[in-house]
Amino acid sequence: MPVTTADITLTPEELRRYNRHLILPEVGLEGQKKLKAASVLLVGAGGLGSPLALYLAAAGVGRLGLVDFDVVDETNLQRQVLHGTKDVGRPKLESARDRILDINPHVQVDLYKTRLTSENALDIIKEYDLVADGTDNFPTRYLVNDACVLAGKPNVYASIFRFEGQVSVFGTPDGPCYRCLYPEPPPPGLVPSCAEGGVLGVLPGLVGTIQATEVIKMILGIGTPLIGRLLLVDALHMQFRTLKVRKNPECPICGEHRTIHELIDYEQFCGLPSRNGEAAAQQTAEGEVPEITVHELKARLERGDRPVILDVRKPHEVQIASIGHDLLIPVDELPERLSELESYRDREIVVYCRSGARSARATKLLREAGFRDVKNLKGGILAWSQEIDPSLPQY
C-alpha cells in the first residue's frame, strides 16, 4: 500500500536537518513529508547516478533504489563522486549505499546488484513512484522508457557526452516518451560511448543536478517540469536551449494504437548482439570480424612478420599511449580517407584503438570497401597494457 503524507512524521532531528526546505512556501512541512513518503529508482550509480543519489538523499527522499552491477574503477573517479579512491574494486552499490547513509541516515536504500533486463525491469520499477534514468547505452534507455510507460511511472531522463547533456521528463499520462523523441536507435557504433569519446568530469554533476531537481519538482508537484520539453546543455559554451517534444500519436508504446504490450529484446532492437551471444565476436555483413590477439601480434612483430598497423584513435590519444602505427586515421574520418590505404590493399592490415570497439567498426568498413585481409586487434591498447606491457598507460 503506498505511503501517504498522513502516515509520515518528522522527528525533531529531521525538522532541524530540513530547516531550509521547511521555510520555503513551495515546500514547507507538507512538501517535506511528500519527499519522505516518496520512492525513487535510480538506474545506474555512475556519473549521473552520483549527483542524483547525493542530492535526493540530502533532500530527504525517503526511499532510494539503486540498480547497478559494476565495480568502482580508477577511471570512474574523475566524475563519479559517489565513490572515492578507497572504493576502487568495490561494487558501486556498496560504496553508494555507504555514502548515501553518511549524508542522510533517514533514507532507506534498496540495492539491486543486477543488470536491468526485460525479465526483471517491471518487477523492480513497479515498487517505486518514479524512475531516474542515468544509463549510458541505448538498449537500456529504451528498456527503461518502455517499462516506465507500461508500469505507469514517470521517467526523469538524462544523458551526457563529452561537453553536452540532455534532460527531460518522459512517460507521464499527457506527455511524450523517449520513443516519441527517438523512434529508432542510431546505427550500432555511430554514437561512441563516453569511454571512447570522453566526458568532462563536472558535466554529470551539472546535468545530474538538473535531473535531481526535476525529480524533486515531480514529487512536490511544483514548478514547471520538463514534460514535453528537452533541455540541451552545452557546458563548453555554457549555453542552455529547450526544444519542444510532442507526444506522437503513432508511438508504438504510448500512442493511441499501441503495438508494444510487453518488453522486448532491446539489444536486438538496437542492432546489437544479444546478451546470450555476448561471447561471440562482433558481426559484419559477411560474418565475424576477424581478430588477432595482442599475443599473436607481439609474436608476429618479434619474428619480423609485420602487418600494416592502422591506429583509428584521435591524435591526442596517441600522446597518451601507443604501440606504434603505420597509419593514423581516426575511425570517423576513415570513409573519406580510404585512398590513403590503397597502396596496402593487398597486404595484411591490423587495426587497433583503445579497447577494440572502434577498430572493429573500422575493420568492418575496410572489409566492405574491398580490403580482404584486415584484422581487429582484440582488446586494443588496454589488452596490450594488461597482457604485454604493463608500463603502457591505460586511459
Number of C-beta neighbours around residue 105 at 10 A: 9
The answer for residues whose C-beta is within 8 angstroms of residue 197's C-beta and 6 or more apart is 161, 162
The set of catalytic residues is 194, 353
Q: 46 — phi, psi (to 5°)?
A: -110, -130
Burial of 342 (0-12, 13-18, 19+ CB in 10 A): exposed
> How far apart, in Å, are the Cα atoms of 339 and each of 214, 291, 342, 344, 366?
50, 23, 5, 10, 11
For the chain, the three-class secondary structure string (H helix, E strand, C coil) is CCCCHHHCCCCHHHHHHCHHHHCCCCCHHHHHHHHHHCEEEEECCCCCHHHHHHHHHHHCCCEEEEECCCECCHHHCCCCCCCCHHHCCCEHHHHHHHHHHHHCCCCEEEEECCCCCCCCHHHHHCCCCEEEECCCCHHHHHHHHHHHHHHCCCEEEEEEEECEEEEEEECCCCCCCHHHHCCCCCCCCCCCCHHHHCECCCHHHHHHHHHHHHHHHHHHCCCCCCECEEEEEECCCCEEEEEECCCCCCCCCCCCCCCCCCCCCHHHHCCCCCHHHCCCCCEECCEECCEECHHHHHHHHHCCCCCEEEECCCHHHHCCCCCCCCEECCHHHHHHHHHHHHHHCCCCEEEECCCCHHHHHHHHHHHHCCCCCEEEECCHHHHHHHHCCCCCCCC
